[in-house]
Chain A
Amino acid sequence: MSTSIDKSEHAQADDYLNAPQGRVAKVIEHLKRDWQIYLMLLPTVIWLIVFLYKPMYGLQVAFKDYSVFRGVAGSPWIGFEHFETLFSNDQFIRAIKNTFIISFYTLLIGFPMPIFLALMFNEVINQTFKKTAQTIVYLPHFISSVIIAGIVIAGFSPSSGVVNTFITYLGFEPIYFLTKPEWFRPIFIGSTIWQEAGFQSIVYLAAIAGVSPTLYESAVVDGASRWQMMWKITLPSILPTILIMLIIRIGNLLEVSFEMIILLYQPATYETADVVNTFIYRQGLLGGQYDLAAAAGLFNAVVAFIMVMTANTISRRYSNTSIW
């Protein structure tokens, strides 16, 4: 009995020693060993290929005089002509400017907000109040952007909106918020923060839950107040999470919430509201200029790629935290 066990152990050891050590062989070995895990990964990989990688084939239309009838392959190459057209178009330049301004303010105000909310929730002692408040701030995330836009439009309506009702109650003239370019950005940024800040705070709350309670106990004995503990323990402890979230946000910076913009803007507010994605939507889908829209989209993607690479490199260099 013991001989047979020894023999099989030897055989296993020999198999291991004789196994090919190349990279492909290692991958095959991994696939064989953990096939259940790779099987679970498969749907996501298929989704990525079908919806994100296959469409990249169409990106070449950005460099072609694309015609629906000739198809992607049949359309002639025209080099950077579309990009030249775009950069000589005032509307596109305005869209880039608006994208950066809206993104910058959304990041500046919208990024710290969930962190602030998580820190505040963490300080709430009354559990009933905490749960109620959390539910209230998470709720808007689960409401469709169309409904949110409807609520915003209704809320800022010059005739029946709650905001203008209050303004007129104070004796002022009602303001036509959604037709005034100077009001678009604050309303848009405010409504996106309202919609997403609560839900985004979950990530930070999870990070806070991971901080060892003895760090707080030790600080309490050392004489730290709740405020000091928040600044000197909680915040530094969740800093790696904050940085990862920041890198992801920077990667999505130029995306803006363009569905929300489309729902809220109108020609009167294009001056401050029109962003690259809404420009692409109007040129490509509404105007039928797919090649020009593809060029604008490619430009957007390249800038986003550069930004996320830069943010990741900076974060890795200065805080040892990075996505890759």
Chain B
Amino acid sequence: MSGVKLERIVKTYGDVEVVHGINLEVDEKEFVVLVGPSGCGKSTTLRMIAGLEEISTGKLTIDGAVVNRVAPKDRDVAMVFQNYALYPHLNVAENIAFGLRIRKEPKENIKKIVDEVAQTLGLTPYLERRPADLSGGQRQRVAMGRAIVRRPKVFLFDEPLSNLDAKLRTQMRAEIKRLHKRLGVTSIYVTHDQVEAMTLADRIVVMQDGNIEQIGTPMDLFLNPANAFVAGFLGSPPMNQIRATLATGASGPVAQIGNQQLPLPTLPALADANGQEIIVGVRPEFADIAVADTPDQIHINLDLVETLGSEALLHASLGDDSFVLRTGTLGKMEMLDNVTGFTIKPELIKIFDGTTGVAVAGQVQRA
């Protein structure tokens, strides 16, 4: 069981507490992504798992053994850093072999393993080159090769793709996913890029201000964010959040937005809560565009249409809040400039408490 378990982990620098007693269990072979804005404590958490930062209080277990006081080298973890951390004076082969040489592996063994890993990562033609002579993507592969040769129990990735351009990032993302599938090593990956998180993770851990906001599969978090922060962080563009008041309409609860009423799902939590301030969460892709003659639409003021090819983003405002709609362009190009509002099925709407931002019970299901 080479899983990782964090129990009430706290990190303080002097009097400042930056990670506030987080709990997380990563199963064997699982790919978990820690995601959150800058300064949320995700990298600090990863560095505590690696042993590069001391754990102030709490218990860290790797493969069943408590490792709080165990040196990084004895934790059997390998880490890939944001800036690759390649040794500039060593060539690719020597960089990949560094960890093995430190551990005094026999030379023939080292060569065999390095060749195998280079083959896997497509680095064989570059083994004699220095890092300075490689492209960003190749450097990233070398950094991964250096982690792989160790055959560790756990891989730790600290924003490994953030220095790459968008195209290369997409390519490398797929390679990491493929590699994880093939090697099946428990992996913990830190990023601030929610697309990376969504595409790579078996489970995502969303962090904010040193706390875990929510843990779940990418689709869980996308469809049913635990609070307004998670809703605003995942998804591109993020979920629209409209301030409204809960009221009762002709056929059930509605959100009163100015003088408009948006029908809401019938949830037990909404009964007897008339007049309560709520935040209505609408995913830009879950709403359908409406034109002048569409019945039962919620009217919006269209500001701007961004055409992205197969789809378009419609930037608008609804009351005091901004509102974005995402729609396909096929056969709709003519009507995009004439959009006057949107319609949405009540069961696709998320509702958050207007004061705490916590999601009101109820699950959005989408096949």
Contacts and interface: CB of A to CB of B under 8 A. Distances in A.
Interface in A221-243: 221-224, 228, 232-233, 236-237, 239
Contacts, number: 57
Contacts of B78: 221-222
Interface size, A (range): 10 to 19
B150 to A, nearest CB: 7
A229 to B, nearest CB: 9
Given A212-B83, A212-B85, A237-B89, A221 B52 contact: yes
Nearest to B75: A221
Q: Helix, strand, loop or mixed for chain A's interface?
A: helix
A219 B71 CA distance: 12
Contacts of B82: 214
B87 A214 contact: no
A218 interface: yes
Contacts of B177: none
A218 B81 CA distance: 8
Interface stretch (B97-105, B181-189, B271-279, B308-316): B97-105
A217 interface: yes
Nearest to B98: A222
A236 B50 CA distance: 25
Nearest to A236: B89
A215 interface: yes
A233 B87 contact: yes
Contacts of B81: 214, 217-218
Contacts of A28: none
A220 interface: yes
Interface string B65-93: 00000001110011101110101111000
Nearest to B94: A232
Nearest to A220: B72
Given A222-B150, A237-B88, A214 B98 contact: no
B278 to A, nearest CB: 46
Given A218-B81, A222-B102, A236 B87 contact: yes
B51 interface: yes
Q: Which of A220, A221, A228, A236 has the most chain B CB within a 10 Å cutoff?
A: A221
Contacts of A224: 73, 102
A220 to B, nearest CB: 5
14 contacts: A215-B87, A217-B50, A217-B81, A219-B102, A221-B51, A221-B52, A222-B73, A222-B78, A222-B99, A222-B146, A228-B102, A232-B98, A232-B102, A237-B88
Given A222-B78, A236-B90, 9 more contacts: A218-B146, A219-B98, A220-B73, A221-B72, A222-B99, A223-B72, A224-B73, A233-B87, A236-B89
